[in-house]
């Protein structure tokens, strides 16, 4: 989930969300230059890092296709392949490899992550999440922490807090309404948990963000 710390007209946030075809990822991983990396240690958490110009270039070409719809059917698959190739060449590609491999525990973890993102407003039940991932509870906990650096319950709370913050900033609702919308049972509960990641109580944080972007 993307958390926007600040953005202004002079310094806007630019983001590109790109849905990867895992079948194509697995096809590219069959190439000789990637087989040597199989079995290497993976990063301990979901990786975030600076991009490089060689990855930005195909992303820019993909955006340029929006202005040339007749060219899109021919070039979009080629650019898609290049983006996957570039991602796999980065150190962060280890996580993509893990998710793409059919027999890798990371694949079940990816299902659990996707389910949590779609259902974070519901009460948290670890056994239900383990059933989604088709793992035992202790196995899921181990792989979930390896994939995100957080326990599943902590990740669920993070999703709720970021969701509530977005509702206050974008929709203009107060903290109580935002708390109930994302599944909290009381406004006092979100107030207790909100300050730890964002540094301020809910409405103070929202006012601070709005002043920063004014």
Contact 173, 12 (CB under 8 A): no
The rounded distance, in Å, linking the Cα atoms of 143 and 136 is 11
**Does residue 39 sit within a domain?**
no
Confirm whether 26 is domain-assigned: no
Q: How many domains does the chain have?
A: 3
Q: Which tokens belong to 97? A: 């490899």
Can you give the CATH number for the domain in which 192 is found?
1.10.10.60
Give me the half-sphere count of Cα atoms (radius 13 Å) on the Cβ side of residue 106: 17
pLDDT band at 199 (very low <50, low <70, confident <90, very high): confident
Check residue 44 and give its pLDDT. Answer: 46
Assess whether 83 and 111 both reside in one domain: no
Domain residues for 186? Answer: 154-213
Q: Which residue carries 């509530």 as its tokens?
A: 164
Q: Domain for residue 22, yes or no?
A: no
Decide: pTM greater than 0.75: no
Check whether residue 140 and residue 113 sit in a common domain: yes
Concatenated DSSP letters of the chain = --------SSS----------HHHHHHHHTSHHHHTTTTPPPPSS-------HHHHHHHHHHHHGGG-TTTHHHHHHHHHHHHHHHHHHSTTHHHHHHHH-TT-HHHHHHHHHHHHHHHTTSPP-HHHHHHHHTS-HHHHHHHHHHHHSS-HHHHHHHHHHHHHHHIIIII---HHHHHHHTT-S-HHHHHHHHHHHHSS-HHHHHHHHHHHH-
Domain shared by 208 and 160, yes or no:
yes
Answer whether residue 70 is part of any domain.
Answer: yes
Instruction: Say if 10 falls within a structural domain.
Output: no
Judge contact between 202 and 190, C-beta under 8 A: yes
Residues 144 and 174 grouped into a single domain = no
| CB neighbour list of residue 167: distance below 8 Å, 6 or more residues apart | 173, 177, 178, 181, 182
Residue 206 in tokens: 């929202």
Query: pLDDT tens digit string along 19-63?
Result: 888 888 888 888 877 766 554 445 444 556 677 889 889 999 998
Span 64-116, pLDDT tens digits: 998 988 998 899 999 999 999 998 888 778 778 877 765 465 678 888 888 99
Summarised one tens digit per residue, pLDDT across range 137-174 is 998 888 888 777 788 999 999 999 999 999 998 888 99
Q: Are residues 199 and 159 in the same domain?
A: yes
Q: Predicted confidence band at 9 (pLDDT cuts at 50, 70, 90)?
A: confident
């Amino acid at each position: 989930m993307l958390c926007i710390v600040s953005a202004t007209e002079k310094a806007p946030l630019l983001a590109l969300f790109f849905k990867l075809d895992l079948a194509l990822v697995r096809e590219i991983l069959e190439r000789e230059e990637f087989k040597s990396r199989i079995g290497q240690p993976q990063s301990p958490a979901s990786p975030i890092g600076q991009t490089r110009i060689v990855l930005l270039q195909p992303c820019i070409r993909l955006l340029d296709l929006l202005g040339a719809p007749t060219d899109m059917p021919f070039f979009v698959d080629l650019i898609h392949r290049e983006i996957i190739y570039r991602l796999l060449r980065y150190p962060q590609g280890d996580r993509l490899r893990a998710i793409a491999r059919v027999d890798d525990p990371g694949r079940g973890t990816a299902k659990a992550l996707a389910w949590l993102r779609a259902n974070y407003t519901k009460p948290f039940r670890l056994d239900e999440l383990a059933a989604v991932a088709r793992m035992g509870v202790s196995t899921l906990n181990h792989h979930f922490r390896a994939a995100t650096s957080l326990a599943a319950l902590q990740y669920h709370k993070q999703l709720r807090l970021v969701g509530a913050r977005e509702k206050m900033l974008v929709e203009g609702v107060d903290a109580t309404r935002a708390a109930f919308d994302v599944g909290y049972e009381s406004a006092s509960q979100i107030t207790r948990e909100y300050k730890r990641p964002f540094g301020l109580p809910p409405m103070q944080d929202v006012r601070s963000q709005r002043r920063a972007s004014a």
